[in-house]
Structure 1
């Protein structure tokens, strides 16, 4: 296996960023296709699919937490030129995601009714949501593996193979959703179930392809599976990063579920507001997906720099990538602003839902520089292993600012979903300011593994432990 390119030059950063950006857009297109096809069926199907999809994201927190820890561990290991340690972290991440996917799917299937009732799904769409839930739970194990393997490709700077897989999945989703969802191409129209089973096939194909490609690149093979001796030394760091990341994911995704609950229970046009939120989130992904590409790029580069013992270069990369991403995506948001109504008309035929989509876009396009900046800085914390900052800032912004303010504006003062959308803008500003303070004024680089001595004779307690892990 050849040694990875660890350069942080502008050309290297661009080589790492553009495939991830394109891949994020392919993911966006897949999500947009399903929402659009659901909207062509009915607003009820679109709203029910949105609730179930958002709830599924809560069940994804385990694999996202594990992936956050693994990204930090793998990228720092490669920065320290510890290739076999990186292989071991890749192996335990993929195997762990496979097992945990089945556990979470079983739990979700058994607790389906209590979960949907707790979310206060409107009674009109509850039977649809319950029907969709079973298929989504069958998809979850493959979704776990696909998500984890995608992160491992990024951590090892292999960004072209997952892009090719994403293109395949996008084509499969487009053909299947239009064909089996709406009956295009002479195929039988199964409605919403055609969309859901297409997603099942796409996630399964993605998981299998990614595993085969990781094996081909020699990062995933049976000889890299660590034994108990190595796990006793190697797992603590992964858990130290993954536990706050998991808590942050739980806080964040549960908060977004509460956001759906707030929107679903507004006094005016609740079903239209819920469908508008579902569609609006997909449109917002035009801006958010590139932000996530920069988030992942920042995590890998910062991890490489810290693994190589260069915290100053890590800080410089963090600031530069944050500024570039915020400015670039703000310009895209400015270009989209005049076309809010046209975009809404493309998403649904229902006039009330169109109005809600426009209201959502107005507030969230304004929040672009703040949301993108905080997203990229969150990736910096992931790469450094400082995931506790993400937990505190993103969790606080959601539960202390967004939800209480959304309830006050949306339910008490304005009486419409626009109040909740306005609260989202305020919380994004608060998050961005807090994250910027951490990047500029806090010692977040101390959370990295110290695989190198930063100066001759300097002793780092973690070094001896990592050496044991390397020889185990």
Structure 2
């Protein structure tokens, strides 16, 4: 039988010129490709956390009302950001396929359509914030002073929603093209700009004393700066992605493809956020100490999410590129490489959570009841880490393949029919308190890990049409 040549795939896939995919040495370039994509994504997510912590720290120094207002506004901002993230998932999957097929121009056209959609969603988000913000804050039970402060903060930051949309979607397109360094550097600029402006306008030693207004101006301005940086990078082009310079019109077919992949991802995140709001109600019913311990536990565990996020990004990008290159075996190899690394790192972090739980919680509070419950929650968090690694990486690979309807079905089913009922039963029905609620989280991620893993191993994602 004659030997058939296959076109060269993008760097990072670990695919040679020929179809000989079983050569052991091909795992080495796959490993390099996964690591090159993962570590900037981990740092990017860490920088995201730094932005949140900076705002929370400065708001806390402005008083309880300011802290509550920033947190309350953040819930609406996260709700709007779900739609930006949905477009980002669609952009990542389709750009990755175009890059895998070696079609730089198509990758640029997809990116342009995603950016146009992002801008439209951004303006719609601004309108929603102005029209529905006060109503939502009142519905969530905000006191009048908090409601007023939250609306002040939101009305300023909402002006940056179009820029925020471009920042999210532009970074997602770059990740699909295999560039995770630019998003990481962009977020570094956003963090630095936000911190400098927030401290200058509202910090303890600020000569301006603008309070929550200063925090809002800093957050909005930092997002605009980040969007401009991403826009410049995309306009200049990358080796794998070039925005069209002349054909700048709307392409309905491409928009439809982006939304076909992205909307299920957005629905998944929306249902997830709504379920988490319900879970918050379950935990607040356990008392103030339990809720404080829950919040501390989530903040500590958020650091252990980072490897899972980074390797999920790598699996998503490389799976999409492999399908574009019509070499799904390379996507499998990349995903299992990412999974092994995620299991090692998150398993190690899980051990640290189990052994150092009380010490970690003690950094945030001196309340013995909070420390006791927080430490118990973190011991359960240690058990969650392997399941979370499996869930993150396999679901990331499925999203990269465009298999977002399946990820929507599994996430929504698991969190509503597994996590919430078990949390209610164990925390309140059996009287296990906060540890019972966190056992619901363990059950949720265990179910998701099993079902995402089954879907990936079945190979059904290889036949998804995007």
Q: How many residues align?
A: 441
Distance 1:163 1:253, change over 3 A: same
Matched, 1:383 2:389: no
User: Displacement of 1:402 after TM fit?
Assistant: 1.4
Q: Residues of 1 paired with 2:319 and 2:236: CA distance?
A: 26
Once the two structures are superposed, residues 294-325 of structure 1 have per-residue CA deviations (whole angstroms, 9 ceiling, x without a partner) of 11111110011111111222223222312221
User: Displacement of 1:100 after TM fit?
Assistant: 0.9
Q: 1:223 is matched with which residue?
A: 245
Corresponding residue to 2:167 among 137, 142, 146 = 146
Asked whether the 8 Å contact 1:149–1:211 carries over to 2, the reply is yes
Q: Residues of 2 paired with 1:237 and 1:102: CA distance?
A: 22
Q: 1:421 is matched with which residue?
A: 438
SS in 2 for 1:288: helix
Asked whether the 8 Å contact 1:183–1:190 carries over to 2, the reply is no
Unaligned stretches of 5+ residues in structure 1: 450-472
Matched, 1:268 2:263: no
Q: 1:76 is matched with which residue?
A: 97
Matched, 1:401 2:418: yes
SS in 2 for 1:7: coil
Q: Residues of 2 paired with 1:345 and 1:336: CA distance?
A: 13
The 5 A counterparts of 1:429-468 are 429-449=446-466
Corresponding residue to 1:257 among 252, 266, 277 = 277
Matched, 1:27 2:48: yes
The 5 A counterparts of 1:364-383 are 364-383=381-400
Corresponding residue to 1:235 among 255, 258, 263 = 255
Distance 1:250 1:448, change over 3 A: same
Q: Residues of 1 paired with 2:420 and 2:435: CA distance?
A: 13
1 or 2 for the larger relative contact order (CA 8 Å, sep ≥6)?
1
Once the two structures are superposed, residues 158-208 of structure 1 have per-residue CA deviations (whole angstroms, 9 ceiling, x without a partner) of 222222222222222333444544414x54454544443322222111111
Q: Which moved more, 1:368-377 or 1:312-321?
A: 312-321
TM-score, scaled relative to structure 1: 0.83
Q: Residues of 2 paired with 1:250 and 1:256: CA distance?
A: 10
TM-score, scaled relative to structure 2: 0.84
The 5 A counterparts of 1:39-438 are 39-41=60-62, 45-120=66-141, 128-184=149-205, 187-217=207-237, 219=241, 221=243, 223=245, 225=247, 227=249, 231-264=251-284, 266-269=285-288, 273-274=290-291, 276-347=293-364, 357-358=374-375, 360-414=377-431, 416-438=433-455
Unaligned stretches of 5+ residues in structure 2: 1-8, 15-28
Asked whether the 8 Å contact 1:181–1:189 carries over to 2, the reply is yes
Q: Residues of 2 paired with 1:366 and 1:120: CA distance?
A: 35
Once the two structures are superposed, residues 373-427 of structure 1 have per-residue CA deviations (whole angstroms, 9 ceiling, x without a partner) of 2011111011111011210111111111112222333444438444433322221
User: Displacement of 1:211 after TM fit?
Assistant: 0.7
Corresponding residue to 2:11 among 5, 20, 23 = 5
Q: Residues of 1 paired with 2:111 and 2:101: CA distance?
A: 16
SS in 2 for 1:183: coil
User: Displacement of 1:148 after TM fit?
Assistant: 0.9
Asked whether the 8 Å contact 2:261–2:404 carries over to 1, the reply is yes
Distance 1:4 1:440, change over 3 A: closer
Q: Which moved more, 1:403-412 or 1:376-385?
A: 403-412
Q: Residues of 1 paired with 2:275 and 2:180: CA distance?
A: 31
User: Displacement of 1:327 after TM fit?
Assistant: 2.1
Distance 1:280 1:123, change over 3 A: farther
Q: Residues of 1 paired with 2:296 and 2:207: CA distance?
A: 26
User: Displacement of 1:442 after TM fit?
Assistant: 4.8
Q: Residues of 1 paired with 2:432 and 2:326: CA distance?
A: 54
Q: Residues of 2 paired with 1:252 and 1:366: CA distance?
A: 21
Asked whether the 8 Å contact 1:39–1:348 carries over to 2, the reply is no
Q: Residues of 2 paired with 1:141 and 1:395: CA distance?
A: 28
Once the two structures are superposed, residues 55-113 of structure 1 have per-residue CA deviations (whole angstroms, 9 ceiling, x without a partner) of 32222121111111111110001111111111100111112111211101211321123
User: Displacement of 1:121 after TM fit?
Assistant: 5.2
Asked whether the 8 Å contact 1:119–1:258 carries over to 2, the reply is no
Distance 1:195 1:275, change over 3 A: farther
Distance 1:114 1:365, change over 3 A: farther
Distance 1:311 1:194, change over 3 A: same
Q: Residues of 2 paired with 1:15 and 1:434: CA distance?
A: 28
Asked whether the 8 Å contact 1:50–1:275 carries over to 2, the reply is no
